[in-house]
């Protein structure tokens, strides 16, 4: 197989790859980066072949890497070999895992979702931390959710940090982005129960009357959900708070609720 060797930091391909660490460049190119053999193998098994594969000259040989390389070449993609140093500059991580891939961004329209394909959907409003976003994708994968719907101004699901924290779930979960004014009419145009953790007018989260498809919504890390978003929910639930705090980390709250809903729906 032919591999292109790149040795210079100023090479245009290296510049392009590094630019994908910034949201505006990802958006302009419609592409994102994912790193690590395990994650790229997960992607491949889910039918996502990287358009470009970047390998470090110091990588460990591995049959899965050979398989990945064959898939990329077979799909007409590029395979690039470069130094560990350049690869770590590309991914912004000091210990790169020896391999990274470039993927085309997915369709993130609400129209791309089939709400009846899963019993659980996660919804996040103004979630700003890419680590929390990736963690929610990972939790969604674990509970068999259909995907994650990002409301209003959230972190970018295609950032290197979010992709990394998702541990591959970016390739198994659907992701949609919408404003609240787009989301609510879409939700009400079909079946779906909107649920949020709340301190107002709420029932205990254990044993609450969840129904599928259940949309579990969490709010911004600092502000929580706006009051009118909570009011629009079909079900508001409370979780025990035995200490001084009145809230949980957003990704944690979403996960505790999602596991409760999973148990409740008996799926």
Q: At what angle do helices 37-45 and 63-74 cross, to 10 degrees?
A: 50
Choose between 136 and 233: whose C-beta lies nearer to a second copy: 136
Choose between 79 and 155: whose C-beta lies nearer to a second copy: 155
Contact 69, 53 (CB under 8 A): yes
Nearby residues of 79 by Cβ (< 8 Å), 6 or more positions away:
1, 2, 3, 4, 52, 53, 55, 69, 72, 73
Choose between 20 and 195: whose C-beta lies nearer to a second copy: 195
Cβ neighbours around 60 below 10 Å, total: 10
In the region spanning residues 238 to 267, those forming contacts with a second copy, defined by CB under 8 A, are 239-245, 247-249, 251-252, 255-256, 259, 262-263, 267
Instruction: Quote helix, strand, coil % in the chain, to nearest 5.
Output: 40, 20, 40
In the region spanning residues 220 to 239, those forming contacts with a second copy, defined by CB under 8 A, are 239
Interface size with a second copy, residues (CB under 8 A): 36
Phi/psi for 197 (5° steps) reads -75, 135
| Segment contacting a second copy by CB under 8 A, of 47-55, 68-76, 135-143, 190-198 | 135-143
| Segment contacting a second copy by CB under 8 A, of 13-21, 75-83, 99-107, 138-146 | 138-146
Using CB under 8 A as the binding rule, whether residue 202 contacts a second copy is answered as no
Candidate list 72, 127, 133, 143; residue touching a second copy; CB under 8 A: 143
Interaction pattern, residues 19-58, with a second copy; x per rule: CB under 8 A: -----------------------x--xx------------
Choose between 20 and 165: whose C-beta lies nearer to a second copy: 165
Candidate list 169, 170, 187, 218; residue touching a second copy; CB under 8 A: 169
Candidate list 89, 131, 211, 238; residue touching a second copy; CB under 8 A: 131
95: three-class secondary structure by DSSP: coil
| Cα 110 from chain centre | 15
What stretch of H or E contains 34? strand 31-35
Where are any strands of DSSP class E within the chain?
A: 4-6, 31-35, 52-56, 78-82, 99-104, 120-125, 147-151, 174-178, 193-197, 203-204, 214-218, 235-238
Residues near a second copy, by CB under 8 A: 42, 45-46, 131, 135, 138-144, 165, 167-169, 172, 206, 239-245, 247-249, 251-252, 255-256, 259, 262-263, 267
């Amino acid at each position: 197989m032919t591999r292109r060797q790149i040795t210079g930091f100023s090479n245009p391909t290296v510049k392009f790859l590094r630019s994908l660490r910034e949201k505006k460049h990802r958006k302009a190119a419609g592409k994102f980066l994912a790193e690590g053999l395990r994650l790229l193998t997960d992607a491949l098994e889910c039918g996502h072949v990287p358009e470009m594969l970047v390998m470090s000259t110091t990588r460990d040989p591995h049959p899965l890497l050979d398989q990945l390389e064959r898939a990329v070449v077979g799909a007409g993609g590029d395979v690039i070999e470069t130094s560990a140093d350049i690869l770590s500059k590309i991914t912004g991580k000091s210990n790169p895992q020896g391999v990274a891939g470039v993927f085309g961004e997915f369709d993130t329209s609400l129209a791309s979702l089939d709400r009846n394909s899963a019993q659980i959907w996660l919804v996040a409003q103004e979630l700003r931390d890419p680590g929390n976003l990736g963690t929610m994708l990972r939790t969604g994968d674990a509970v068999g959710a259909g995907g994650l719907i990002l409301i209003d101004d959230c972190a970018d699901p295609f950032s290197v940090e979010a992709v990394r924290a998702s541990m591959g779930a970016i390739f198994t979960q659907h992701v949609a982005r919408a404003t609240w004014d787009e989301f609510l009419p879409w939700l009400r145009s079909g079946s779906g129960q909107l649920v949020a953790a709340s301190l107002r007018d709420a029932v205990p989260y254990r044993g609450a009357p969840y129904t599928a498809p259940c949309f579990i919504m969490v709010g911004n890390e600092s502000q929580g959900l706006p009051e009118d978003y909570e009011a629009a929910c079909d079900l508001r639930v409370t979780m025990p708070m035995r200490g001084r705090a009145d809230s949980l980390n957003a990704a944690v709250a979403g996960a505790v609720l999602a596991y409760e809903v999973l148990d409740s729906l008996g799926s």
